Structure 1
Amino acid sequence: MKHRLSLIYLSFILIISSRESSSSIPSNSFIGIPPQDEDYIKREIIKCKNGSKKFTKAQLNDDFCDCPDGTDEPGTSACPLGKFYCKNIGHAPSFLYSSRVNDGICGMICLR
């Protein structure tokens, strides 16, 4: 019985660990994008929202700021003006500065 409880506890720890490690790394390039912008971002060549430049889909969330307004980096902290869309599970969705995403400070629960 004691051995069985140890295995259950170990399994629980492994499940929690895998969830934490997978949540800190963006699983796809569309992380941080609000639902209303998903079609806009799916194009092969995408304009920065302020119209200043263009970037490819491969440059989306690549951790390099191509747009001065942060359009291309909603899921990273590469752009100082970047905004991350947060579903904020259980509350109203909101935007937060991309620099506050995965910064080690507990904030909102932003699942995609």
Structure 2
Amino acid sequence: MTSKVTWETKILLTTDNYALWLLPMKAKLHKLKSLTVVTGAVVCPNPKANKANAELYTQLNKDAYTEIILHLNQENLALVSTKLPPKDEFNGYALWQLLKSQYAGSDLTS
């Protein structure tokens, strides 16, 4: 009898490891099909013109928010809770932009 052991390593974003955290986080978001949402490469379609795609975008944005939040340490959770407006709760794009501005500044590759 054989058994398969799976071990997932979770890198939490700290105040000094943004570059290390960014690559696996981009991979996770790509796998969730949410990376283009948080980077702004895709914008939300007009819900009146394309309801199904607008709903899909909204769900992908929420999924991205959840995945990012699960990979933040306590200091960054505190940062998000104080700097991200309540209207942006579950907005992966807004969260991504907040973290990017906090740690990467105007670096266009992040």
Whether TM-score is above 0.5 comes out as no
Bigger radius of gyration: 1
Q: Which has the higher helix share?
A: 2
Q: Which has the higher strand share?
A: 1
